[in-house]
Amino acid sequence: MTDTYQRDNFALRELTIGQVLHKQRQRFGNKVLLTELWTGRQWTYAELDDFANRAANALRAVGVQKGQHVGLMLGNSAEHLAIFLGLGKLGAVSVPVNTAARGDLLRYYMSHGDASLVLVDEALAPRLAEVLPELDLVRGVIVLGADGRAAAPDSLKLPKPAHDLAALLAAAPTTAPDADVKCSDLLMLAFTSGTTGPSKASMLPHAAALTYGTSAAEAQGYRTSDIFYICLPLFHNNALLAAFCAALVCGGSVALSQRFSASRFMDEIRHSRATITNFLGAMSNFLWSQPPRPDDADNQLRLVSMSPMPGFVQAFETRFGLKAMSNYGLSDFGTVSAFVPGAPPSKLGSIGMARRDFELRIVDDDDFECPPDVVGELVIRSHEPWRATTGYYKMPEATLAAHRNQWFHTGDRARCDADGYFWFVDRKKDCIRRRGENISAYEVEQVIARFDAIANVAVFPVKTPEGDEEVGASVVLREGQVLSEADLVQHCARNMSYFMVPRYVQILPELPITVNQKVEKFRLKQGMEAALDTVWDRERSGIVLER
């Protein structure tokens, strides 16, 4: 058995959760697969497979069947992974939502995803309780106590029937559930930021979800000896699919942290002896800005995926003693390119070349291919069935629009050089990228527009001096109305995830519009960025948001 992942480790038809777990159990049964860093709990491949079987049987005991949609409002934990794997074994469909979701958006995610059962962390149960009475499809709730413990009795007092997960697991056998699941069956819905409408739920079959792992393992040369450090949230595809599933399919191990912390990051890396990890958004900036230490390079890291790759990447590699890699992907489709170790140094900063079985192209507004180094829209497609998302759930028109002319249109602008390396330029989509979170400007606008005092609103990304994006909002008040920026922010905080709440707010007499009555957001953006020292700033005002 070679240490490096091989393409033929899994046939396409084998890419189901149940088959992959069974095969890896046979190969690596007594090897540690998962370690929770904050508790020290560990599971071998065989033990995590048993855990997934217990979760599947526990869920079946409360009525979950193949094809049923189950909402997950869960933080990082072994239980979260066991539930996801157990649902996959049953052929049920996971609907993970951001744990920061609340109010209108939480209600939308659960209702649009057709969740009939919701699993929720005990600490988040009150937030779910606020919207449960309006979720007609939800028949019941399962509450997870912290670190595998039983949930407190009071957390089970919800508007819908509730069960304690620990009690259900204690009564469930470890026998594998009998379910006929194919690689083409729907495994999960991944919410992606809406641009001209509500957030869309991308449909991932088993093969598409697991291809995140097999494709990354092949492209980056992952090894059975690798330990993947995961601190990003498991409700994101990056942590769940590109990291955990990559470790699973390559026979590696996972060191799971509860969340990202710049101050303790390197300590956890050293303690876990991690060799691979993934960065999103400004994580690299946060780590780079930490005071240098003599032992910065005293770690086992060999590869770090950076998206985006910062300008100081070469100095970062030297300081921390590692190699940077980069991948391009999106929840709407999958991960399709890779910048790999050994590529020419002059290509550092690119998103690399197309991974095997995927094709990338740069096209103009009429979908004709652009010459080398001409900026256009990046379009992508898969050469094999079921390795990418199958469209947007309950949104056929949006699915057709994105997949026109047999290519998926990313909405991102890029260029391809003469050597076949692709370079990301910017986004065409009305989307904000804040610290690894994709934020729909449309959804923030919709929440603000429901405020009675608001006559018009525009939301857009604001570039900060640190290079990150923050949410900016320009609003016009109805005649005779009075509203403070702080009141607007508090309204937003009650009805959206904390990271979506605008940081910068302007109250204007009117918004600039075109002759077609479209708001000229670029003017608002330019004006706000030029006056950040004087624009109302939530952080400068001392407002702290509840997470």
pLDDT at 182 over 90: yes
Residue that has been written with the tokens 């409002």 in this structure: 73
pLDDT at 142 over 90: yes
Instruction: Indicate the residue type of 526.
Output: Q
Residue from 215, 191, 450 nearest 330 by CA: 191
Within the chain, how many helices (H) and strands (E) appear?
Answer: 16, 26
- Domain 17-29+37-181 part of CATH 3.40.50.980: yes
**Mean pLDDT within 85-109:** 94
Q: What is the pLDDT of residues 288-316, one digit of tens each?
A: 878 889 999 999 999 999 887 877 888 89
**Mean pLDDT within 45-69:** 98
pLDDT at 193 over 50: yes
The angle formed by the CA atoms of residues 132, 143 and 70, to the nearest 5 degrees, is: 65
Residue 40, judged by CB atoms within 10 A of its CB (0-12, 13-18, 19+), counts as exposed
**Confidence at residue 429, expressed as pLDDT on a 0 to 100 scale:** 65
**Confidence at residue 412, expressed as pLDDT on a 0 to 100 scale:** 87
**Mean pLDDT within 187-194:** 86
Residue that has been written with the tokens 């370079």 in this structure: 423
Q: How far is CA 518 from CA 504, 510, 522, in A?
A: 21, 13, 11
Q: Which two tokens stand for residue 365?
A: 């507004």
**Mean pLDDT within 217-226:** 95
**Mean pLDDT within 482-492:** 89
Q: Which residue has the higher pLDDT, 466 or 192?
A: 192
Q: What is the pLDDT of residues 350-403, one digit of tens each?
A: 999 999 999 999 999 899 999 999 989 999 999 999 999 999 999 999 999 999
**Confidence at residue 105, expressed as pLDDT on a 0 to 100 scale:** 87
pLDDT at 514 over 60: no
- Cis peptide bond upstream of 133, omega within 30: no
> pTM score, two decimals?
0.82
Ranges of beta strands (E only) in 364-465 are: 376-382, 408-416, 422-427, 431-434, 437-440, 454-463
Domain borders along the chain are 17-29+37-181, 207-427, 431-537
State how far the Cα of 269 lies from the Cα of 228, in Å rounded to an integer.
Answer: 10
Ranges of beta strands (E only) in 45-103 are: 69-73, 93-96
Q: Of 254-258, 319-323, 446-450, where does mean pLDDT reach its minimum?
A: 446-450
Q: Of 244-248, 329-333, 542-546, where does mean pLDDT reach its minimum?
A: 542-546
pLDDT at 71 over 80: yes
Contacts of 61 (CB under 8 A, 6+ apart): 168, 171, 172
Query: Do 17-29+37-181 and 207-427 share a fold?
Result: yes
pLDDT at 261 over 60: yes
Instruction: Indicate the residue type of 546.
Output: E
Q: What percent of the chain shows pLDDT beyond 90?
A: 69
Residue from 101, 65, 115, 58 nearest 83 by CA: 58
Max Cα–Cα distance, the chain, nearest Å:
75
Q: What is the pLDDT of residues 117-137, one digit of tens each?
A: 999 999 999 999 999 999 999
**Confidence at residue 515, expressed as pLDDT on a 0 to 100 scale:** 45
Residue 540's SS3 state is coil
- Banded model confidence at residue 61, pLDDT cuts 50, 70, 90: very high
Q: Are strands 200-205 and 186-192 parallel, antiparallel or unpaired?
A: antiparallel
**Confidence at residue 133, expressed as pLDDT on a 0 to 100 scale:** 96
| Range list of H helices, 113-187 | 125-131, 165-170
Q: What is the DSSP letter of 239?
A: I
Pick the CATH number of 431-537 from 3.30.360.10, 3.30.300.30, 3.40.50.800, 1.10.10.10: 3.30.300.30
Phi/psi of residue 294, nearest 5 degrees = -60, -25
Q: Which two tokens stand for residue 237?
A: 């595809």
Classified by CATH at the fold level, domain 207-427 comes out as Rossmann fold (3.40.50)
The CA-based dihedral angle spanning residues 87, 88, 90, 94, taken in that order and rounded to the nearest 10 degrees: 40
Q: Of 157-166, 207-216, 454-463, where does mean pLDDT reach its minimum?
A: 454-463
**Confidence at residue 85, expressed as pLDDT on a 0 to 100 scale:** 98
Instruction: Indicate the residue type of 244.
Output: F
| Range list of H helices, 255-395 | 265-272, 283-288, 313-320
